[in-house]
Amino acid sequence: MSLTSQTLDLDKITPMMQQYLEQKKLWPDCILMFRLGDFYEMFFEDAVTAARELELVLTGRDCGQEERAPMCGVPYHAVDSYVNRLIGRGFKVAICD
């Protein structure tokens, strides 16, 4: 079974992932683009969807679990084109700076 946001042990997740999950709760029906440095990152189910729809490489990030969280990202300076592509394909997008 692969790691999803529903299979997390919430007592062991990293502070960054706690912050991400707090925001994701506010926008459950959106693909959440979460700003980390020079990139907007997406995690878990959002990452899988975005990687497929935007033809991005799906990688992983340590989040305090045994398994890495699925992750993909886009450069902050190009985010508008990626957001427009997702919206054009019928997805809702939330951006967290």
3-class state of residue 40 by DSSP: strand
Q: Is 45 exposed, middle or buried (0-12, 13-18, 19+ CB in 10 A)?
A: middle
What are 59's strand-pairing partners? Answer: 71
> What value does the mean pLDDT take over residues 9-30?
87
**Separation in Å, CA 33 to CA 40, 50, 66:** 5, 10, 24
pTM of the predicted model as reported, rounded to 2 decimal places: 0.86
Q: What is the pLDDT of residue 1?
A: 36
In whole angstroms, give the CA distance from residue 3 to residue 85.
26
Q: In this predicted model, what pLDDT tens digit does every residue of 39-48 receive, in sequence order? A: 999 999 999 9
Is the pLDDT reported for residue 30 higher than 90?
yes
Q: In this predicted model, what pLDDT tens digit does every residue of 48-84 receive, in sequence order? A: 999 999 999 999 877 666 777 899 999 999 999 999 9
Mean pLDDT, rounded, of the chain: 88
- Sorting pLDDT into bands at 50, 70 and 90, what band is 18? confident
**Separation in Å, CA 8 to CA 40, 74, 95:** 22, 24, 23
What is the CB neighbour count within 10 angstroms for residue 74?
19
